[in-house]
Chain A
Amino acid sequence: MTVLLSVENLTQRFGGLVAVDDVSLAVDEGSIFSLIGPNGAGKTTLFNLISAIFPPSEGRIMFGERALHKASTHQLAEFGIGRTFQNLAVFHHATVVQNLLVGLHHRLKANILTAPFFWGRPRDEEIRARRSVEEIIDFLEFEHLRDVPVGQLSYGLQKRVELGRALAIAPKLLLLDEMVSGMNSEETEDIARFILDIREEFGITIMMVEHDMGVVMDISDRVAVLDHGQLICVGSPADVSQNPDVIKAYLGKK
């Protein structure tokens, strides 16, 4: 299997705090890779480093030939990386369709000089964009919510819109930061099913930070465990759940 994303000796310091400490890991193409660990273990920091929100103190992140540790956040969509956020980061005032259309940004061409005149190329491009958004709406099953401002939707549905928006990027790698936190079991099941379908139908590799062990153990191919910024274990869900270091990190020593 080919490696899609590799993290090499990554370290991030915030003042005296080492949030991510010399972490190396590889995500295989087409896999579902989960990142777990107790609160404050550095999972979200690692995610933010991968999505180039800030540059790492040390180390490299390679996405194929692209060096993510040197990239800017806005380039990621173009590289083929989509992400969702831990706290809702939808565009509240915009409708579901408009939210999804933002995900298409990097594939469209209109600029401030062509946009005011609209008729012609920008219009053709908008029609095409509208059509591809419709495919995502169909996939995520919110046809009836198309024109509802996202701020009016329930938490679970807003999360689903955020997932749709990341899908609109047409990513090779999808980063999901605590997708199911705060969801009821039915919503959680829906999301887990969508994640499996996304890999199945679109062949997208998925990397997720997750606290819900049910989801992690059920759908992951590989699980990495972080504790105090250090990678303590990588392996299949079964291996990880038996690992004494992992049990110690979660439950403490006897």
Chain B
Amino acid sequence: MRTGNHIESYPRHIALSDSVVVWFWLAVLMMALIMLPAVSGLFVLGLAIRILIAAVGAIGLNLLTGSTGQISLGQSGFLAAGCYTTGLLIADYNWPPELALPMSGFVTAALSLLVGIPSLRLKGLYLAITTLAFSFIITQFLLFAEPITHGPYGVRIENTTFFGVDLARPTALYYFCLAVLVLVTLGVLNIMRTRVGRAFNAIRDHDIAARAMGVNLTIYKLTAFGASSFIVGLAGGLMAFQFRFINVDIFSVTLAIEALAMIIVGGLGSVAGAIIGAAFIIILPEVVGDAIALLPDAVGEVLANGALEVKGLLIGLVIILTLRLEPDGLIGVWRNTKRYWSRWPLSV
């Protein structure tokens, strides 16, 4: 009789997953994702690209807010910084895109230290407000520093050739974003299973105890800010390739709230949760939009006119529902389901 999952070696203990079943289904998922452009239309592909980029951004935010407990409302500012770095370096300074994209990560990480250092003693709401203010500073700077940033006119990116592949083609951009997401996912999962990730979680759960265990709070908070923003900056850089014409208007506060919604709905602190949450928050308005189209004309017209408001309403609603019903988010629902079936018929 199977009595449980017995692990018999230390390397298996620290493996990402020691279950063959998990690896098998992951392989199936990867195959499906690779096959997607072959079977999907342009609309679905566009949606998939948005999900992939949002997932990269959500993983970044999750590293800071979910894993380290430093609430950030500055996501749109960091995305803007990444997006404009890539855009301006390519458009105005003729940098090759291969260098401009990683540079987005570094520039955004450096900027995050600028807000991170004065925020070291701030927690919770105060930190949230500081990061929000920082995000406003960035977008206002982008709007008014016209000689550097083109101000309200935006930036057009002509050169999108990455190692000989033109990312202006949706299929190419899709595979590229997928590759970035896979690398970022692996990187963050690895961080989380070393002392660095444990230090992040320790700071979130009990900062004084973390210090007593030898975690240097200053260094690790800044590390979390830097690493998180590096990834968010990459996501911003990807957005430059996605839009190819960038403008400050894209980076509204709503974007930061959406990012926060992704990690809350997905499950705070979980990498898989961030990805699932990103997919959920991107797809939800589309599904609801289709549902609205089925409503009687009068109602449908009102809702269609206020599409943006409806979207905001939906995101607010799912955040409240998640916090009320399952604070661990969709990943928590998944864990509970798994536990239910593995213990059946003894489960309650």
Contact = CB atoms under 8 A, between A and B. Distances in A.
Interface of A: 51, 53, 72-78, 82-83, 85, 89-94, 98, 101-106, 108, 110-112, 115-118, 122-123, 125-127, 129-131, 165, 169
B198 A101 contact: yes
A123 B197 CA distance: 14
A232 to B, nearest CB: 28
Interface in B190-213: 190-191, 193-199, 201-202, 204-206, 208-213
Interface stretch (B10-18, B46-54, B137-145): B10-18
Interface stretch (B26-34, B90-98, B153-161, B215-223): B215-223
Given A115-B190, A118-B190, A118-B194, A105 B215 contact: yes
Interface in B116-173: none
A91 B205 contact: yes
A101 B195 contact: yes
B269 interface: yes
A12 B326 CA distance: 46
A118 to B, nearest CB: 4
B3 to A, nearest CB: 13
Given A103-B213, A115-B191, A126 B202 contact: no
B214 interface: yes
B205 A74 contact: no
Nearest to A175: B212
B196 A74 contact: no
A98 B198 contact: yes
Main SS of the interface on chain B?
helix
A94 B213 contact: no
Interface of B: 10-11, 13-14, 186-188, 190-191, 193-199, 201-202, 204-206, 208-217, 223, 226-227, 269
B236 to A, nearest CB: 19
A125 B14 CA distance: 11
A102 B210 contact: yes
Given A117-B190, A126-B14, A77 B213 contact: yes
Contact of B201 (A53, A91, A117): A91
Contacts of B198: 94, 98, 101-102, 105
Contact of B193 (A82, A92, A118): A118
Contacts of B208: 53, 73, 85, 89
B10 A127 contact: yes
Nearest to A93: B205
The A interface, classified by DSSP as helix, strand, loop or mixed, is helix
Given A91-B202, A126-B14, A102 B215 contact: yes
Contacts of A126: 14, 193-194
Contacts of B194: 108, 110, 115, 118, 122, 125-126
Contacts of A169: 213-214
B175 to A, nearest CB: 22
A105 B149 CA distance: 44
A83 B211 CA distance: 11
For the complex of A and B, list the 7 residue pairs with the smallest distance between their C-beta atoms, beginning with the closest. A77-B214, A116-B187, A106-B214, A118-B190, A89-B209, A91-B205, A73-B211
19 contacts: A51-B212, A85-B208, A85-B209, A89-B212, A98-B201, A102-B195, A102-B210, A105-B198, A105-B199, A105-B214, A105-B215, A110-B194, A112-B227, A116-B186, A116-B190, A117-B187, A125-B194, A127-B11, A169-B213
Nearest to A162: B209
A131 B213 contact: no
A43 B93 CA distance: 63
A139 B61 CA distance: 39
A75 B217 CA distance: 11
Given A105-B215, A112-B227, A116-B187, A91 B269 contact: no
A30 B211 CA distance: 25
Given A89-B206, A106-B214, A126-B193, 17 more contacts: A72-B216, A74-B212, A75-B214, A77-B213, A77-B214, A90-B205, A91-B210, A98-B201, A101-B198, A103-B213, A115-B196, A116-B186, A118-B194, A123-B11, A127-B11, A129-B195, A169-B213
Contacts of B212: 51, 73-74, 76-77, 82-83, 85, 89
